[in-house]
Structure formats: C-alpha cells, structure tokens
Amino acid sequence: MSKSPKAPSGTSDRVLTNRQGHPIANNQSQRTVGSRGPATLENYQFLEKITHFDRERIPERVVHARGFVCYGEFEATGKIGDEPASKYTRAKLFQEPGKKTPLAIRFSTVIGGRDSSEVARDPRGFAVKFYTEDGNWDLVGNNLAVFFIRDAIKFPDVIHSLKPDPVTFRQEPNRIFDFMSQTPESMHMLTHLFSPRGIPASYRHMEGFGVNTYKMVNAQGDTVLVKYHFHPRCGLASLTAEEAAKVQGQDLGSASKDLYEAIGRGEHPQWDMYVQIMEDHDHPELDWDPLDDTKIWPEKDFPLRHLGVMTLNRNVEDFFNENEQIAMGTGVLVDGLDFSDDKMLVGRTFSYSDTQRYRVGTNYLQLPVNQAKNAKVHTNLNGGQMSFRRDLAPGQNPHVNYEPSIHNGLQELPQEEPSNQPEIRGRLTRSVIERRNDYAQARGRYCTMMDWERDDLVLNMGTLLGQCERDVQERMVWHLLLVHDEYGTRVGEMIGIAADEVRHLQPLPKQILTEEDERRLQNLGRNGDKIDPTIWGQWTSSVKNYRASAEDVLGGMRNVPTEPAMNQAAE
C-alpha cells in the first residue's frame, strides 16, 4: 500500500473537521461529567461521528454484491466489421475511427455476499458504463454468453435456488439442482458454469457478453438485432475447483487484487469488442429463437464483427463512492441503440433501475460515478432524499418544472429521430416461446470444450449431484443424457445411476421436445454421440482456455501466456 506524504507540522489545511466544517480539537474523548462520566447528550461531534458510522453501509446488492470498479476508454474503429458503422447504427460513439469514449466497468460475482470469495463457482458480472456525448450507455452483461432462464418472471426463482437456504443459510446443491432439474432450458448454462469457465482465474482473463439481444438503429431508422461480445487480449484462463480452493484459503479477493495491481503496474487490460448482427424479424428458419437468452448465435452463421477496443487504465480512488454506489441498468441506452423484445431484457430493464433507487436512493444519478459526464442534463425532476441540485438548463425559468410551458421551461427535442421498427401483432398471452430446443446447444458446448474442461465439468457435476436426493439425481441424469450420451453416462457413473434407471421418466409437465429430442429419448444413452467440435464451427466457447494454478493466481498471473483469445483455437 502506498504511503501518503507526511504533513508538515503546523499545517492548517489538513485539520480534521465535521461535515459542518467545524474544526475538531479533540477526537479522542467524549464530553463527560468528570473523567469517568456519565456522558452528556450534547456530544455533537460524537453523535455526528457515530450516527454516520451507524449508517455508512447501504443495502448490498441482492446479486453482484461483491465487485470491483475501474476506469478506461473505448476506442472505435469507425466500422462494424468491414463496413461503415453508420450502415447499422447512428450511435455517435461508433462513427469515427479513433474516437475515444470514457467508461467505467464493474466486474463482479453474482450469488455471494459483499465479502464472499472471488474464486467461487459463479457467473461473473461484466457491466460497462460508457460516458458518451449523448448520455450514458450501460451494457450490463456476464462472462458467460447465455443464462439459466429465458423469461424474467423466473429470475427471483433461479436466484433463490442459488442463494443460501433460508433455514440453514448454506448454499445447497440439492436446492440448486432441484430447480434446474425442473428447468430444462438451464442445461446450456449449467454446462458452461460447471466447466472451468465458471471460475475465471482473474477478471482480466475472462470474456464479456451482453447476453441479451439488443437492436441497432441507423440514421434512416432501419433496425437490426445484435449481440455484444468482449474478448480479452491477454487470453482466457480458468481454475479447477481444486485450485480455486487453494486460492480461497489464502485470499478471498484475488480477482480484485489482480486487476488493481495490474493497472497500477501499467499493464492495462484490453478487450476487443465485437457485435453479431441479424435481420430484425423472428427468423422462422432457425430451430431456436434469437431472443432466447439460453441460446448463443452460432458464429459460423452470424460472424463476429469488430467494433473497437476497450482499455482499462485507472483505478478507483474511493471504493464506496465508486464501487458500492455505481449503478447500472439495461434500460440505459443512447440514440442509435434500442431494446429488442427479449423477455429477460424487458424484465431486467425495470428491475435494475428500481433496485438502484431502493439501494442507493432516488437521486442516485446525481452521484459523480453515475452522472452523464459528457452530456448536458436538463430535467424537471426535483426533490427526494439526498438531492443536492436541480438539473436546470441555462436560462431556464426555475419556477417552471413542468412541460409544456411558454414561460422559458424545458422543451422537447424539435424532431424525433426515425425508427422503422417492425410491426408486431399477436394475442395477449402468458406462454413460453415456441422454439425452445433446450438440449442442442448444450450438446454443442459439450463437444467444443477442451478435454480438461470436459473432464472438470463431469467431475463438478458428479460431485455436487452426489449431495442431492435421488429424484433430483435421476432427473438431472435424464436431462444430461438428452444432451449427450457421454455427458449423462459419465456423470451418472459418478453417482451410481445408469441410463436404464432413468429410461422410464416422462418429459416434464408442459415440456416440449423437438423431433430430435423424441428420437433421442427412445434411445436414451445409446444415440451414438461423438465428440466432434467441427460440426459446430468456431465458437467463442471453443477458444483456448489456459489451465491456471493457484500459484499463477496468487503470483499475480505474471507467467500466464498472453495472446488474444480469438487467436487461440482450442486444441
């Protein structure tokens, strides 16, 4: 830890004061009657100090409680792939080659509390706040490309299953797999999470994904569907559970430490930013829905197109103000970017901003880390807890906090930008999307892993399912056999369950199987599956993943091979 320069004796510019600006001459003793007390009620300095201390924690995030923030910039290429960025979006931050946009990023774990381990098996948050000239853009994603569920109404359920038991307050595999065994769409995410990708060796050595499907809008108002990717230039590195346990025994905050010290050394981490693009309609030719968060878009069909480079080059100066109070939201978009009808995205867009108002306060957007630093802010919002200014425009009548007005109030933008969104018709309903296909992409992920990743996945699944009740075990083995013969067989062998012992199980109520699933069910465990990654094309998931050791992590990842992840095809 760096030492602050010693203040010369007699200096007055570093005198301790209270929040009223009153100098404090005695910060060692309360005012008491005699040296032994009792204390008096008018102990103003003590009361100010202790009551602030009593309130210096705000509610921790329900998810992503432990995280770390740093700052940097995004430099655009001016293109999307080989084409001008303007073909697809009018968002200003992408238009000019070399244009730099400052940003803040928060990496995090999802399930653990604020002081939990940073090498727990858990998705990692990858949330970027771009301070653009048109206001802030928040891209709130994860290090894994998919999610457990496809509809936001299930979000409280999946998080409750992953959180500690409300009675024992322990994270219980039986609760997790009880929920997942009844949620077939989760098989793809589980196959990612319980592989080594579920424990990144550091924040610098992991990918980032927007996960949700968004839209881009160009100057003519034409729209396309998009998915965002960030790929680390220093390559991927992950830990097995065994190596992670060694790290956790010595350091609960290894990932934050690694990032902070790397930036401090001038080793500024970089990620290449890519986007996948799809025409804006429902794509009936696909056997999966492009708005389904449990699916990736295969890169052989929807190639990655380079947008620019993100560089992280500055650490926070105050953990609480810049980390605990930074507030991200999926609804924070700028002109030229838009929402899709992704059911998870719509739910997140309400939930994220709602929880920030509860957790940080009504005026959380006035805090420096959350302000729109490079855009003008003029609103008719005022009041609420901890408000310290009004967002008045130059010349605005301060008496007018409504619109419309002819007395120098705020006015709407004279012309609304074009947006030629597709027309949508349908009956109001409560139903799941039609093209679910819950097993095919999980099978692809199993086939595209490196051998050591696949072995670790089987070990982790088998070990944790071994702690579950028999009915949960049987249903999970049934699902895994529908994914891939070897996957289900190897996990089943670890817990003593063969395909013949689960062959009698029927599909879950309301579960829809594809024709391929029905065929596989008739030959459960005997479908002749091979490990053939070539049929899936080059996926992000199939790039090389360095098998990091505890010594690598505790040593600051100094000797880990560094090469851009996208240049390293899995062997």
> Active site residue: 18, 43, 52, 142, which one?
142
CA-closest candidate to residue 245, choices 358, 121, 60: 121
Report the SS3 class of residue 294: coil
CA-closest candidate to residue 550, choices 168, 144, 267, 254: 254
Q: What is the distance between the alpha carbons of residues 445 and 484, in angstroms, rounded to a whole number?
A: 10
Q: What is the distance between the alpha carbons of residues 73 and 311, in angstroms, rounded to a whole number?
A: 6
Q: How many CA atoms lie within 13 A of 419 on its CB side?
A: 15
Residue 239's DSSP bridge partners are none
How many other C-beta atoms can be found within 10 angstroms of the C-beta atom of residue 513?
A: 18
Q: What is the distance between the alpha carbons of residues 183 and 442, in angstroms, rounded to a whole number?
A: 14
Residue 174's contacts (CB-CB under 8 Å, 6 or more residues apart) are 467, 468, 469, 472
Q: What is the distance between the alpha carbons of residues 337 and 109, in angstroms, rounded to a whole number?
A: 27
Q: Do 170 and 164 touch, CB atoms closer than 8 A?
A: yes
**Sign of the dihedral through C-alpha 295, 218, 333, 74:** positive
Q: Is 399 a catalytic residue?
A: no
Q: What is the distance between the alpha carbons of residues 291 and 432, in angstroms, rounded to a whole number?
A: 12
Give 32's DSSP letter: B
Residue 180's contacts (CB-CB under 8 Å, 6 or more residues apart) are 148, 161, 186, 187, 190, 476
> Active site residue: 27, 43, 64, 374, which one?
64
Q: Is 142 a catalytic residue?
A: yes
Residue reference for tokens 């597709």: 422
**Sign of the dihedral through C-alpha 122, 123, 124, 125:** negative
Q: With helix as H, strand as E and coil as C, how does 226-288 read?
A: EEEEEEECCCEEECCHHHHHHHHCCCCCHHHHHHHHHHHCCCCCEEEEEEEEEECCCCCCCCC
Q: Give, in degrees to the nearest 5, the angle at Cα 402 between 396 and 407.
A: 45
How many other C-beta atoms can be found within 10 angstroms of the C-beta atom of residue 32?
A: 12
Q: Do 550 and 246 touch, CB atoms closer than 8 A?
A: yes
Q: What is the distance between the alpha carbons of residues 82 and 425, in angstroms, rounded to a whole number?
A: 35
Active site residues: 64, 142
